[in-house]
Structure 1
Amino acid sequence: MRKHRNWLIGFGLGIMLGASMLQLINTAREQTEGVAMTRDQLDAQAKEQGLLLLTDKELQQRLDEAVSSSVPSKGKAGEESDQPPASPSSSKGVAPVTEPTEPSASVPTEPDAPVVSPSNDKVTLYIGAGMSLTEVAESLQKLGIVDDSKDFIEQARPIAKKMNVGNAIFTGKPTYEQIIAELVRKKR
């Protein structure tokens, strides 16, 4: 028994490694073999989470309605409105932007564009899926939240993989610890 000890250890480790790999393969296969959901099932799940599913046609119709209701006219046919006509949506799928109702707020044209509201000194930055720490640091520097993006990257390197997708809201001039806490906060 003693003379075959190394062989037995190798054989046992091989069996354990093989079983582990087989379990990983089966788990991955189960995740990729999901059953396609019907529109009704998708609507039900969206409703449970407080969301609304729209087809492209319904979305475009709602966008057109919103744009037409937000552009006031002078009332007479043939006269032009005070505001320029709404621009068509861009190739990225971003909705047309009209004049903001509040003069102190700026409206983002892209999903990852920051929203700056000077009235209460709050700054919102959208953290998108797959954004790197460098991209976030550069955005924070552009917004004036951090002075040196390289210094912030060095401080925040441990949380680079822990940032959560969603809107990060900053008030005033936060410290690096406050910024890091907001980046890793679970967002809805």
Structure 2
Amino acid sequence: MFKNRMFLTGLGVGIMIGALLLQLMLIGERSEASLGERLGSGAEEKVYTQRELDDAIAAERAAAQGAAAPSDSAKAGGEAGKPEADDADGKEQGTSTETPKPSPNDATSPPPQTEAPSKDEPPLERVVQIEGGMNLTQTAKRLADAGVIDKQASLIAEMKRKNKRVRAGYFLFTGQPELADVVRTITGQPLTKEEREELAKRGVE
């Protein structure tokens, strides 16, 4: 019984050692493979020396200067030809420009006559009759038809606000009176017969 146990123990230890060795072999093979790949890729890269780099930079600069030289010469030629064109334009302008000579008639011509301002026309005078029994609306319409007021509603509102009554008779309106002047006139003293006759002589009816 004791011999079998020793045998099994040794067998187990041997199997474990063999597995460890196998694992170590696999790890070594993988390390060699990866190292070989790195070395192979590094071998493919080309390494330049400092002298080769300097020669390549100098060649690129020379090519760039050679390409810029034709454009500079063309630009210089264009600028050189431009003053000649400007001189030609200046000569043409100088020959075509003429100084206008004053005419002898200009000095003796009389100044333009200005029309004298016309005198202000007298304001328009109108006589409006307000008949007895006319209400406020009819009175406002009569004044609007005569051209004394513009808005009938404004006169009606102002009369109601002041609580005044329209008087019957003939009333004189001069120009375009204010609303307050219209109210004062139609609520005041109407024209007398003599005043109406005097206005009729002047053509105001």
**Range of TM-score over shorter length:** 0.3 to 0.5
Question: Which structure is higher in RCO with an 8 Å CA cutoff and minimum separation 6?
Answer: 2
More helix by share: 2
Bigger Rg over Cα:
2
TM-score using structure 2 length? 0.31
